Amino acid sequence: MRNILIAAAVSLLLSMVGTPLAIRLFGRRGYGQNIREEGPSGHYDKKGTPTMGGTVIVIASLIGYFTAHLTTLFSAVTDPPTASGLLVLFLMTGLAAVGFLDDFIKIYKQRSLGLRSGAKAAGQLVVGAIFAVLVVRFPNGYDITPAETKLSFLRDFGPSIGLLGFTVWVLFYIVGFSNAVNLTDGLDGLASGATCLVLAAYVLIGNWQLRNSCTLLLGPNCYSVRDPLDLAVVAAAVLGACFGFLWWNAPPAKIFMGDTGSLALGGVIAGLAFTTRTQLLLVILGGLFAIITMSVIIQVGFFKMTRKRVFRMAPLQHHFELSGWAETTIVVRFWLIAALCVAAGLGLFYLEWMPKQ
């Protein structure tokens, strides 16, 4: 528990202090956001707002995580970083690098599009493939690896789908959720606030899995998770960094996270889902991201078939903008939807522990 609090506090402080420094630095260098011409007209006022704020989230998260572990060097029991925690942080940092390149090209060429879609997807796939191969290695003393080549909901279930099938599943999931957070990042504070809620859920999940670990006490509902406490530390570190960033990203935003942040945050929640063995549960916990992604799929698919649109504009938040809703109204209401999804996911997670009459 101490490590969780230290990681969250350090990353929060660094993010709160570092974000205004990034605002001034990126502002002086002209690292401002370009706006899509076909987007809502209300977004034109945001042109030139500093972007790539996701770099602060990533750096603050990494420092917060490693600081929490460094403090144990001075205690009676050392607590070094674990394979699970490092792999999730690798996934976050690798996807952040892809997003950073995308953001930098946008700024350098002064356009709203950065990397070509093929190059961006290739970067995500390379990082995801490395994660998929490594996450089923590094067994601990109980022969538990960070993940298994199985599907999972509240824990692993069913037969192994093999390394190839698992790799394809990991790639689909990582690309899907990193792009889902990216699509959600269309209004001030929307993506960062929704991600905070999902990360808070994973802090609770990691703690509960630790208290009911199969390595401590065998039982019908125990969890075979390699490093549940360290995964809670990772979630807390990123949560603190996101919370500090949200202070400056809330409407009206002083800085945007850019693809650097959105891809990184999508990657970290996907990585937590695999390492906590809650892959399918994330679809519920991150229900807002799933809803917004589905709105794009429906819009594109329906338009290709009928040449007509279901929504005024996709992703879904822009439909409500064009319907006359104020940006802050959309953000707060979508946060409420995200909170309901997290509550439903946590309810399902704890349901099996409820007393049976």
> Residues with Cβ < 8 Å from 224, sequence gap 6 or more?
144, 155, 156, 213, 214, 277
Percent of the chain surpassing pLDDT 70: 91
Q: How confident is the model at residue 41 (pLDDT cuts 50, 70, 90)?
A: low
Going from the C-alpha of 171 to that of each of 68, 129, 265, the distances in angstroms are 30, 7, 16
Q: Can you tell me the mean pLDDT for 162-174? A: 96
User: Per residue in 247-280, pLDDT tens?
Assistant: 999 888 899 999 999 999 999 999 999 999 999 9
**Mean pLDDT score, 162-169:** 96
Reply yes or no on whether the pLDDT at 42 is more than 60. no
Stretch 174-193: mean pLDDT, rounded? 94
Q: Where does the pLDDT of residue 354 fall: very low under 50, low under 70, confident under 90, or very high at 90 and above?
A: confident
SS3 18: helix
Is 7's pLDDT higher than 70?
yes
Going by C-alpha positions, the residue among 179, 162, 177 that lies closest to residue 279 is: 177
Q: What is the mean pLDDT of the chain?
A: 91
Q: Measured between alpha carbons, how far is residue 355 from residues 155, 333, 350, 352 in Å? A: 20, 34, 11, 8
Task: Kindly report, residue by residue over 285-339, the tens digit of the pLDDT.
Answer: 999 999 999 999 999 999 999 989 999 999 999 999 999 999 999 999 999 999 9
> What's the pLDDT tens digit per position in 68-91?
999 877 665 678 899 999 999 999
pLDDT at 32: 67
Q: Is 259 one of the annotated binding-site residues?
A: yes
182 in a known ligand binding site: yes
Q: What are residue 144's phi and psi, to 5 degrees?
A: -100, 125
